């Protein structure tokens, strides 16, 4: 009989078969935690004794705590706000400064909320999760605080003028809550309201409107989705004097319904269920994931359309096409300014920016001058009340730089930049391409010494993700640089299918029954590294987390002879039961439903936990996860490690007792987790 986990206890359920390690799914069970601590002791005793551990750990902690990091800010009212952690503020402080002060090399900050002091006073392990501040006065904010770093949060109203919590303000208990302001004294809230209020994925299915001064139990239901949905939530957007209120019903991870408030009722928008809907001023924007035949035209998946909201509601369908994808081009981001939009395009995994401006004769498109290398990030500074925007520039070897720019304001102003946290001298970035098993061209980036000796002996770390339309872009990682590149390692970033590098089609090519394509892409890259004699299996390590952890598990079980070491972080591994654990049901749009026999037939072919064999020689693997991860269940990593150990395989396991899905809740924990991984890789791959 199989089991599922609810509230830390083990209960009977369908699925799972005869699994002797189901007891490890009981997250806080004493026996399970004893097992965790014993495995942690084995891993830390070995890895912390490595000559690589302490120098890497100390270097990482110095980087993480460095005051030279860029203090990224959000403009709230007339101030810039930043959340900051360092050696003195371990849990962190929420702080603010003026616009003028921020332009200085060393701004003077005012502390708004000290999380270390709050945690000490309330005897809670608070981890910052963000704030939603009320438009347009920005005096009150709804703070999200997590115990230990999980996705579940406590909501508490905070006053920015008094820098104190509002004694009779909005307060909601711990849950996976979605909340947003609907007015000065009312909010939309989707949360755990008791039995029947959550979906099978563990997210809210009911949205309520809650008035100040009334009990949450008296809040009025405004929308209810189905139990089988992923989630329902509310969205309020104020843009250029236009106010939009919307309910989003996510029926799957990639599809759903958009309900716009028109007058005193919500109306369903007639758009494709897999489209992403947004608003800019009086315009409705629609980003397509699949082709849409409408108004006598066929708009391709990956396109961005716009139309006046009033015209759309009146039945018109004469869309302006703001972006059209290409075979190797995709829409990476969109920033709304006061008078224009900025499109961020990926062209063969390299960023390009374009200005889109409406006029009497339609929209005009103009390239924006920006550095031609690496990845660019663009976002509005003042939402859309000015034409000012932030621009970030980064690549593997160039420290990230933050610019402030304005349309028609001349050259961008360089405001902040990371220092060179590692020695990039003599290093080079090259983009390669391989032909995967089905003939698809797949790119990857390689960072290594110029004139690298191609003798197959270079310690090489191959990183991948390949899911949920997430793009793997060049970026400056001080941790990778200081812990791997500077010490002589080769770093490789894979752009396999399942990601978003070439738009929705690149992602959809590896969905559900086609999942193996992502794995074939990664295998082909690994084979190419050996073929080019950059490295060889003995010296090739791989790393990935979450969906990338699933990728690592598949590589471990499908092609163990290709790799010398595997770092598998916060992974999915038991794909027979993933949909019954925590948020797993929400990902059936990505992987499929293992309760449907024909879908389990193709999931079973790659599910790592079910494909372990006692007579196969596997590379050594380090599993890491977090007890407090309430998104991907730690039972995946626990059970995989236990089964491998029982079969006689050499495996290391480390579970952080807090940290959420990110694996760590503060800088010391991040440094330790990173140092364990890099010490393991150096130990195995030299």
Q: Which residues are CB-neighbours of 323 under 8 A, at least 6 positions away?
A: 302, 303, 304, 331, 343, 345, 356
What is the predicted pLDDT for the residue at 373? 61
Categorize the per-residue pLDDT at 3 as very low, low, confident or very high, splitting at 50, 70 and 90.
very low
Categorize the per-residue pLDDT at 53 as very low, low, confident or very high, splitting at 50, 70 and 90.
very high
Q: What is the mean pLDDT of the chain?
A: 94
- CB 388 within 8 Å of CB 377: no
More confident residue, 12 or 171: 171
Average pLDDT over residues 138-158: 96
What is the predicted pLDDT for the residue at 345? 96
> Which of 546, 586, 607, 626 does the annotation list as catalytic?
546
The answer to whether residue 151 is domain-embedded is no
- CB 236 within 8 Å of CB 244: yes
Write phi, then psi, for 309 (nearest 5 degrees).
Answer: -55, -45
The answer to whether residue 428 is domain-embedded is yes
514-534 core/surface letters (b: 16 or more CB in 10 A; e: else): ebbbbbbbbbbbbebbbeeeb
- CB 564 within 8 Å of CB 578: no
3-state helix, strand, coil in the chain (%, to 5): 25, 35, 40
Categorize the per-residue pLDDT at 371 as very low, low, confident or very high, splitting at 50, 70 and 90.
low
Size of the chain in residues: 686
What's the total number of domains in the chain? 1
Write phi, then psi, for 421 (nearest 5 degrees).
Answer: -70, -15
Q: Is the predicted pLDDT of residue 11 greater than 70, yes or no?
A: no
Cα–Cα distance list, 257 to 250, 586, 622 (Å): 7, 16, 41
The radius of gyration computed from the CA coordinates of the chain, to the nearest angstrom, equals 25
The answer to whether residue 284 is domain-embedded is no
Average pLDDT over residues 84-99: 96
Q: Is the predicted pLDDT of residue 372 greater than 70, yes or no?
A: no
Identify whether 546 is a catalytic site residue.
Answer: yes
The answer to whether residue 487 is domain-embedded is yes
Average pLDDT over residues 498-507: 96
What is the predicted pLDDT for the residue at 221? 98
pLDDT in tens, 255-298: 999 999 999 999 999 999 999 999 999 999 999 999 999 988 99
The answer to whether residue 567 is domain-embedded is yes
Residue 116 corresponds to which tokens in the numbers above? 């270390």
Residue 8 corresponds to which tokens in the numbers above? 């830390």
What is the predicted pLDDT for the residue at 659? 63
What is the predicted pLDDT for the residue at 13? 35
Residue 36 corresponds to which tokens in the numbers above? 């965790």
pLDDT in tens, 414-460: 999 999 999 999 999 999 999 999 999 999 999 999 999 999 999 99
pLDDT in tens, 473-492: 999 999 999 999 999 999 99
The answer to whether residue 251 is domain-embedded is no
Average pLDDT over residues 304-324: 97
What is the predicted pLDDT for the residue at 661? 67
Q: How far apart are CA 530 and CA 537, in angstroms?
A: 7
What is the predicted pLDDT for the residue at 374? 77
Q: Is the predicted pLDDT of residue 665 greater than 90, yes or no?
A: no
Taking Cα atoms as reference points, which of 405, 423, 425 lies closest to residue 414?
Answer: 405
Average pLDDT over residues 466-475: 96
Tell me the pairing of strands 540-545 and 565-569: parallel
pLDDT in tens, 207-254: 999 999 999 999 999 999 999 999 999 999 999 999 999 999 999 999
Q: Is the predicted pLDDT of residue 1 greater than 80, yes or no?
A: no
Percent of the chain predicted with pLDDT > 90 = 93
What is the predicted pLDDT for the residue at 14? 38
28: Cα separation from own chain's centroid: 26
Taking Cα atoms as reference points, which of 518, 603, 523, 528 lies closest to residue 560?
Answer: 523
Secondary structure of residue 205 in the 3-state scheme: coil
Q: How far apart are CA 615 and CA 257, in angstroms?
A: 49
pLDDT in tens, 611-660: 999 999 999 999 999 999 999 999 999 999 999 999 999 999 999 986 66
What is the predicted pLDDT for the residue at 660? 63
Write phi, then psi, for 328 (nearest 5 degrees).
Answer: -125, 20
Residue 100: DSSP 8-state: H
Residue 629 belongs to domain with CATH number = 3.40.50.1820
> Which of 244, 507, 636, 661 does the annotation list as catalytic?
661
The answer to whether residue 392 is domain-embedded is no
The answer to whether residue 60 is domain-embedded is no
Q: Is the predicted pLDDT of residue 663 greater than 90, yes or no?
A: no
More confident residue, 127 or 9: 127
Average pLDDT over residues 77-84: 97
Tell me the pairing of strands 490-494 and 388-394: unpaired
Question: What is the domain range of residue 534?
Answer: 422-472+479-685
What is the predicted pLDDT for the residue at 664? 66
Categorize the per-residue pLDDT at 126 as very low, low, confident or very high, splitting at 50, 70 and 90.
very high
Cα–Cα distance list, 287 to 279, 304, 329, 377 (Å): 11, 4, 15, 19
């Amino acid at each position: 009989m199989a089991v599922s986990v609810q509230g830390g206890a083990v209960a009977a359920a369908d699925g799972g078969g005869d699994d002797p390690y189901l007891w490890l799914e009981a997250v806080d069970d004493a026996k399970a935690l004893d097992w965790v601590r014993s495995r942690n002791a084995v891993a830390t005793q070995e890895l912390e004794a490595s000559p690589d551990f302490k120098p890497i750990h100390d270097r990482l902690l110095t980087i993480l705590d460095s005051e030279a990091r860029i203090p990224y800010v959000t403009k709230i009212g007339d101030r810039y706000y930043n959340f900051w952690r360092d050696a003195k503020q371990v849990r962190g402080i929420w702080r603010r400064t003026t616009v003028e002060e921020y332009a200085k090399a060393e701004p003077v900050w005012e502390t708004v909320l000290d999380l270390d002091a709050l945690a000490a006073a309330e005897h809670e392990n608070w981890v910052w999760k963000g704030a939603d501040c009320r438009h347009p006065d920005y005096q009150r904010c709804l703070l999200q605080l997590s115990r230990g770093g999980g996705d579940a949060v406590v909501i508490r109203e905070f006053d920015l003028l008094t820098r104190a919590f509002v004694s009779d303000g909005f307060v909601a208990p711990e849950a996976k809550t979605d909340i947003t302001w609907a007015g000065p004294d009312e909010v939309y809230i989707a949360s755990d309201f008791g039995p029947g209020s959550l979906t099978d994925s563990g997210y809210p299915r009911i949205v309520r409107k809650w008035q100040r001064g009334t009990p949450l139990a008296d809040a009025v239901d405004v929308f209810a989705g189905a139990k089988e949905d992923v989630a329902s939530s509310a969205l309020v957007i104020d843009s250029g004097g236009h106010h939009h209120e919307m309910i989003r019903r996510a029926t799957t991870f990639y599809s759903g319904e958009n309900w716009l408030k028109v007058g005193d009722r919500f109306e369903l928008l007639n758009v494709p269920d897999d489209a992403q809907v947004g608003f800019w001023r009086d315009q409705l924007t629609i980003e397509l994931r699949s082709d849409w035949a409408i108004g006598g035209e066929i708009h391709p998946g990956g396109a961005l359309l716009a139309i006046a909201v009033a015209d759309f509601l009146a039945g018109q369908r004469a869309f302006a096409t703001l972006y059209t994808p290409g075979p190797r081009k995709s829409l990476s981001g969109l920033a709304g300014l006061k008078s224009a939009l900025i499109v961020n395009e990926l062209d063969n995994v390299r960023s390009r920016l374009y200005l889109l401006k409406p006029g009497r004769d339609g929209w005009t498109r103009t390239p924006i001058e920006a550095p031609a290398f690496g990845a660019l990030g663009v976002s509005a500074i003042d939402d859309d009340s000015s034409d000012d925007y932030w621009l970030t520039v980064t690549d593997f070897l160039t420290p990230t730089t933050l610019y402030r720019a304005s349309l028609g304001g001349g050259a961008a102003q360089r405001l902040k930049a990371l220092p060179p946290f590692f020695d990039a001298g003599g290093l080079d970035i090259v983009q390669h391409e391989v032909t995967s098993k089905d003939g698809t061209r797949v790119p990857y980036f390689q960072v290594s010494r110029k004139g690298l000796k191609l003798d197959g002996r270079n310690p090489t770390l191959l990183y991948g993700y390949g899911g949920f339309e997430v793009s793997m872009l060049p970026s400056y990682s001080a941790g990778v640089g200081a812990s791997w590149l500077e010490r002589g390692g080769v770093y490789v970033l894979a752009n396999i299918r399942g990601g978003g590098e070439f738009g929705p089609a690149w992602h959809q090519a590896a969905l559900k029954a086609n999942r193996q394509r992502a794995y074939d892409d990664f295998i082909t890259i690994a084979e190419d590294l050996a073929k080019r004699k950059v490295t060889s299996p003995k010296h090739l390590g791989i790393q990935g987390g979450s969906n990338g952890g699933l990728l690592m598990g598949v590589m471990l079980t499908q092609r163990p002879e290709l790799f010398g070491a595997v770092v598998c972080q916060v992974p999915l591994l038991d794909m027979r039961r993933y949909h019954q654990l925590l948020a797993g049901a929400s990902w059936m749009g990505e992987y499929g439903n293992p309760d449907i026999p024909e879908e389990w037939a193709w999931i079973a072919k790659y599910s790592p936990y079910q494909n372990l064999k006692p007579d196969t020689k596997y590379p050594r693997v380090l599993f890491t996860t977090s007890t407090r991860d309430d998104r991907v269940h730690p039972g995946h990593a626990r059970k995989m490690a236990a089964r491998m150990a029982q079969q006689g395989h050499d495996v290391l396991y480390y579970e952080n007792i807090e940290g959420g899905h990110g694996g760590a809740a503060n800088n010391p924990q991040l440094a330790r987790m990173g140092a364990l991984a890099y010490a393991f890789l150096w130990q195995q791959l030299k």
